[in-house]
């Protein structure tokens, strides 16, 4: 993923484009594509796709399909920065960090807790709320200086918190997910947020957002509810290990590293521990439970096989088919964004859950038009510009040739692009080692897991957070029950 369509850049672009996001219901298609592509679009919008003084025949209104050439994006000057402003920003960030370190340092950890939740992200915060509201003395230990920071980055800063069409079949291990989440999953999540005081709204494809369209609303209501329930939020501390063999009355020893807040190490005894440390977690891996190797998913694909340099930055509404050795594995329809390295967009992100180097992606850039109908239109018009983005038409050779190419654009997958910016990690704690009724490890009583720490992932659209919330509720409640002596409830 280039800087233009990185989550960070997307978030920035989202913040800049806030005023454009008002027409929720109306801009259905636009919204569907926003998560991953808005930043790139924004970049396109800032700089005209063609230089203003383009020679005749190469302007946007050109009757002929001019040969592809570098877009203005390639030659756009670096944005000017105000050094004084940047320095002020740096200082205030440093000050902010100091304040957070000081606040985290003031939290006095108890010697024991009923439930210790490792990780104060989406799943961990909900698990802690569920445990505390069930009567357990609950502590969240979070490595970051604040809980719930990642929530702020979700959905381009708007947080697509769930989906109205939740369906276990779209997840890895659907049978397990179905048993954990139950029939009322969708309503459980919506009710949880309603009870937390969050107003929500629905956009296209069942995506649910906070009414404020601000991810901070989601994070803040969770933190407020956790504090109301009596949860202790201990940020700036990393759980280094969980010792299951200490033989104390409280059962488990949670070893902490407090160097981020100027401390050294600490130990917290707990009756139950909820592992909610997200994807690719060293802590989860070190528990000695069955482990599935992790890999990033929901990211762009690196590909070859199309004139990607000429197509860079162009969007198409496409039907994408992923195949391995001629066998179709998955089909996705949605926004496709061409990049020099390959392809991006929500549909591509979803395919990245299955794609491997050597796979083929066949893109139909005109899914609403049959080949014959498209050819006829192009013939009548003397250009393919009437049936597709003129720049895409030019890059694909123009006229009938472009139409034929657009109906069946073949790309060879060479790998994932920018995997370090992937939205989700597949793999993690193997679900076979966990009771779907309680999310307790069958071989390690008192250890529970939820969210991305488990080998469960879903497509874009609010499905991953929906899993985080619901699995957090299940694990938190069960951890509290275990702490209260109500044990041995494996299903
Ligand atoms: C840019 C981006 C946008 C996204 N947008 C969406 C979206 O709109 N909708 C959607 O459904 N999903 C989205 N996702 C995916 C979603 O954010 C995750 O599925 C979800 O956050 C997983 O929740 P979690 O609590 O399991 O893990 P995390 O949110 O990763 O939380 C884990 C927490 O544990 C802490 N931690 C880790 N190790 C330790 C340790 N040893 N000790 C203490 N603390 C530790 C981490 O600091 C972190 O706070 C997005 C992801 C990204 C990256």
Q: How confident is the model at residue 248 (pLDDT cuts 50, 70, 90)?
A: low
- pLDDT tens track for 321-334: 999 999 999 999 99
Residue 53, pLDDT score: 34
CB of 338 closer than 6 A to ligand 1? no
Q: What is the mean pLDDT of residues 130-138?
A: 98
Q: Measuring CA to CA, which residue among 266, 238, 268 is closest to residue 254?
A: 268
Of 119, 213, 283, which is best to mutate to test ligand 1, by the most ligand atoms within 8 angstroms of its C-beta? Answer: 119
Of 139, 452, 472, 473, which is best to mutate to test ligand 1, by the most ligand atoms within 8 angstroms of its C-beta? Answer: 452
Residue 39, pLDDT score: 34
Residue 193 predicted with pLDDT over 80: yes
3-class DSSP state of 20: helix
CB of 208 closer than 6 A to ligand 1? no
How far apart are the C-alpha atoms of 120 and 152, rounded to whole Å? Answer: 13
How does strand 327-338 pair with strand 315-324? antiparallel
Residue 88, pLDDT score: 64
Q: How confident is the model at residue 80 (pLDDT cuts 50, 70, 90)?
A: low
CB of 452 closer than 6 A to ligand 1? yes
Go through the domains of the chain in sequence order and give each one's CATH number: 101-296+424-483 (3.50.50.60), 301-420 (no CATH)
Which residues, at least 6 apart from 378, have a Cβ–Cβ distance to it below 8 Å? Answer: 384, 386, 387, 399, 400, 402, 403
How far apart are the C-alpha atoms of 23 and 39, rounded to whole Å? Answer: 18
How far apart are the C-alpha atoms of 491 and 487, rounded to whole Å? Answer: 12
Residue 8 tokens read as 């960070």
More confident position, 54 or 415: 415
pTM (2 decimals)?
0.81
Is-contact 122 142, C-beta < 8 A?
no
- Ligand 1 mean position, distance from CA 486 (Å): 30
Identify any residues that bridge with 302 across adjacent strands, giving them in sequence order.
342, 415
Residue 207 tokens read as 């995506």
3-class DSSP state of 116: strand
CA dihedral 276, 282, 286, 290 (to 10 degrees): 70
How far apart are the C-alpha atoms of 18 and 240, rounded to whole Å? Answer: 40
- Across 214-226, b (16+ Cβ under 10 Å) vs e yields bbebbbbbbbebb
Residue 236, pLDDT score: 97
Of 122, 156, 260, which is best to mutate to test ligand 1, by the most ligand atoms within 8 angstroms of its C-beta? Answer: 122
């Amino acid at each position: 993923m280039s800087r233009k369509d990185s989550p960070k850049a997307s978030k920035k672009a989202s913040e800049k484009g806030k005023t454009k996001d008002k027409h929720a219901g109306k801009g259905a298609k636009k919204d569907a594509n926003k998560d991953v592509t808005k930043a790139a679009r924004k970049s396109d919008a800032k700089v005209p796709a063609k230089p203003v003084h383009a020679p005749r025949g190469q302007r946007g209104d050109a009757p002929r399909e001019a040969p592809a050439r570098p877009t203005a994006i390639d030659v756009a000057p670096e944005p000017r920065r105000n050094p004084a402003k940047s320095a002020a920003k740096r200082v205030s960030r440093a000050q902010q960090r100091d304040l957070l370190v000081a606040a985290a340092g003031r939290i006095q950890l108890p010697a024991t807790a009923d439930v210790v939740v490792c990780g104060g992200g989406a799943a961990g915060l909900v698990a802690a709320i569920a445990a505390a509201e069930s009567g357990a003395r609950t502590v969240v230990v979070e490595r970051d200086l604040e809980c719930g920071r990642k929530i702020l980055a979700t959905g381009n800063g708007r947080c697509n918190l769930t989906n109205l069409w939740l369906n276990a079949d779209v997840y890895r291990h659907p049978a397990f997910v179905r048993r954990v989440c139950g029939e009322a999953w969708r309503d459980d999540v919506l009710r949880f947020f309603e009870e937390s005081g969050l107003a929500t709204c629905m956009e296209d494809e069942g995506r649910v957002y906070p009414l404020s369209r601000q991810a901070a609303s989601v994070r803040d209501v969770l933190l407020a509810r956790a504090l109301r329930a009596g949860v202790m939020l201990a940020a700036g501390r990393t759980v280094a290990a969980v010792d299951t063999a200490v033989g104390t009355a409280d059962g488990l020893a949670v070893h902490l590293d407090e160097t981020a807040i100027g401390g050294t190490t600490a130990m917290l005894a707990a009756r139950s521990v909820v592992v909610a440390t997200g994807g690719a977690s060293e802590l989860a891996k070190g528990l000695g439970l069955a482990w599935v190797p992790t890999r990033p998913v929901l990211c762009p694909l690196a590909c070859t096989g199309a004139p990607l340099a000429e197509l860079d930055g162009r969007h198409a509404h496409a039907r994408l088919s992923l195949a391995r050795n001629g066998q179709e594995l998955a089909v996705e329809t949605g926004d496709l964004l061409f990049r020099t390295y390959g392809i991006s967009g929500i549909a591509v992100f979803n395919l990245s859950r299955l794609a491997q180097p050597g796979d083929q992606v066949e893109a139909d850039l005109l899914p609403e038009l049959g080949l014959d109908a498209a050819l006829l239109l192009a013939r009548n018009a003397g250009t393919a510009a009437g049936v597709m983005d003129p720049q895409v038409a030019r890059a694909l050779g123009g006229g009938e040739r472009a139409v034929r190419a657009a109906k069946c654009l073949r790309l060879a997958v060479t790998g994932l692009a920018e995997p370090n910016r992937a939205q989700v990690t597949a793999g993690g704690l193997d679900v076979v080692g966990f009771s779907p009724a309680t999310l307790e490890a069958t071989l390690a009583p008192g250890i529970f897991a939820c969210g991305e720490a488990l080998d469960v992932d879903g497509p874009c659209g609010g499905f991953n957070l929906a899993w985080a919330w619901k699995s957090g509720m299940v694990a938190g409640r069960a951890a509290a029950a275990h702490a209260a002596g109500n044990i041995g409830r494996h299903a």
